[in-house]
């Protein structure tokens, strides 16, 4: 997916028992889709940072949504029930959705977990890539790429870097 591309429409079930659609998120200034999962150690390393980021930016009109598209037949930890458990354990205050058909992840062109897509109010892609440059240690992060993009877009400016290389586990395709 190229910068400027429209966000693919989606209608996916969440760990909260509800369905979540792109249309229902209208009005949010920015939409952050995080292609995520349960079992990937890189995602696990970022979970606290994602929760903190959601809490910090939600009052500013930013909606974070995590989407798990991994093949749950090969990776049972990525099925909905374990997702519900993980969302409770880690205190996710953002929707955690199951993309069982993998259609949304494919439309996004996702390769890794976590991989981040930031869409503006017109739902055009403005940032794509990694959360930051150090999954191992938050204290050693030198490039807060996602936060920098959000801050710039909220200020009406271009993200300083619009695309970075995402890294993590590969999406588990069917």
Partner 1 sequence: MKNDDGARERALARVRRFVASYVAKGKYTLYPEPEVVENVVQGLTDHLAATGKMYCPCAPLEDSKQKGHHMVCPCTPHHEDIARQGYCDCALFASHDFVAAERLRRGDKGE
Residues at the site binding partner 1, with contacts judged by CB under 8 A: 39-42, 44, 111-112, 136, 165, 167-170, 172-173
Q: Give least dist CB 41 to partner 1, A.
A: 6
Q: Which is nearer to partner 1, 5 or 29 (CB)?
A: 5
Q: Which is nearer to partner 1, 101 or 165 (CB)?
A: 165
Q: Give least dist CB 145 to partner 1, A.
A: 12
* Contact predicate 94/86, CB 8 Å: no
Q: Give least dist CB 74 to partner 1, A.
A: 9
Q: Which is nearer to partner 1, 39 or 90 (CB)?
A: 39
Q: Which is nearer to partner 1, 44 or 58 (CB)?
A: 44
Q: Give least dist CB 147 to partner 1, A.
A: 19
């Amino acid at each position: 997916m190229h910068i400027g591309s429209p966000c693919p429409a989606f209608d996916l079930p969440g760990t909260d028992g509800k369905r979540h659609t792109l249309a229902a998120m209208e009005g949010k200034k920015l939409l952050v889709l995080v292609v995520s999962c349960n079992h990937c150690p890189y995602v696990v390393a970022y979970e606290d940072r994602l929760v903190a980021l959601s809490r910090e930016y939600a009052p500013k009109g930013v909606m974070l949504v995590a989407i798990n598209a991994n093949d749950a037949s090969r990776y049972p930890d990525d099925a909905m029930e374990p997702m519900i458990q993980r969302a409770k354990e880690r205190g996710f205050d953002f929707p955690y959705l199951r993309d069982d058909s993998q259609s949304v992840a494919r439309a996004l062109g996702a390769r890794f977990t976590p991989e981040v897509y930031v869409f503006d109010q017109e739902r055009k892609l403005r940032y794509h890539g990694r959360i930051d440059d150090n999954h191992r240690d938050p204290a050693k992060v030198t490039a807060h790429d996602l936060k920098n993009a959000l801050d710039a877009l909220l200020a009406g400016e271009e993200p300083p870097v619009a695309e970075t290389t995402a890294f993590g586990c590969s999406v588990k395709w069917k």
